[in-house]
């Protein structure tokens, strides 16, 4: 397993900072990317950080991560609750994946309680805002170290 991490973000996350800040916080996606880049560098990891509103882009990037034997942090956003395609891509790729959500999806509308990604992830972090990405990076760094020991 490489020391590369793909951080993929789904639909509407490009609107962070202005979209419902009472739920998602005031940081922009660019702010979160910078935090992730700094954290990854401190852990000796390389990072590819991307966002798309299109499910097929996310599937393509998951496949790219698998080809590179990279680990994955994914905030699938609304696709969490609808996308068998994301689940299949992660499962087929066989790469360690952590699902991240800024809000606590279990404290929101009932349709948000079901995740198609969770069954193929090694962990899920939700409700901790942007800090969840850094926690996911820490967890993957530990996971990758254990795999290489």
Instruction: Give the C-alpha distances (Å, rounded to integers) separating 102 from 35, 128, 132.
Output: 14, 6, 7
Active-site pick, 54, 79, 81, 101: 101
35: exposed, middle or buried (Cβ count in 10 Å: 0-12, 13-18, 19+): middle
Q: Is 79 a catalytic residue?
A: no
Query: Would the CA dihedral through 80, 18, 103, 6 be positive or negative?
Result: positive
Q: Is 101 a catalytic residue?
A: yes
Angle between helix 84-93 and helix 55-67 axes, rounded to 10 deg = 10
Name the strand (E) or helix (H) holding 11: none
Q: Give the C-alpha separation, 27 to 20, whole Å.
A: 11
Could you count the other beta carbons within 10 Å of the beta carbon of residue 73?
26
Query: Catalytic residue positions?
Result: 24, 101
């Amino acid at each position: 397993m490489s020391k590369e991490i793909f951080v993929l973000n789904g639909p509407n996350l490009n609107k962070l900072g202005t979209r419902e800040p009472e739920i998602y916080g005031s940081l922009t996606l660019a702010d979160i990317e910078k935090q992730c880049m700094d954290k990854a560098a401190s852990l000796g990891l390389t990072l590819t950080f991307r966002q798309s509103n299109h499910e097929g882009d996310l599937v393509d990037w998951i496949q790219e991560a698998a080809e590179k034997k990279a680990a994955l942090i994914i905030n699938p956003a609304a696709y969490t609750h609808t996308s068998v395609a994301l689940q299949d891509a992660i499962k087929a790729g066989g790469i360690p994946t952590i699902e991240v959500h800024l809000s606590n999806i279990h404290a929101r509308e009932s349709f948000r309680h079901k995740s198609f990604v969770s069954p193929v992830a090694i962990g899920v972090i939700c409700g901790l805002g942007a800090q969840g990405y850094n926690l996911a990076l820490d967890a993957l760094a530990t996971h990758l170290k254990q795999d290489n020991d």
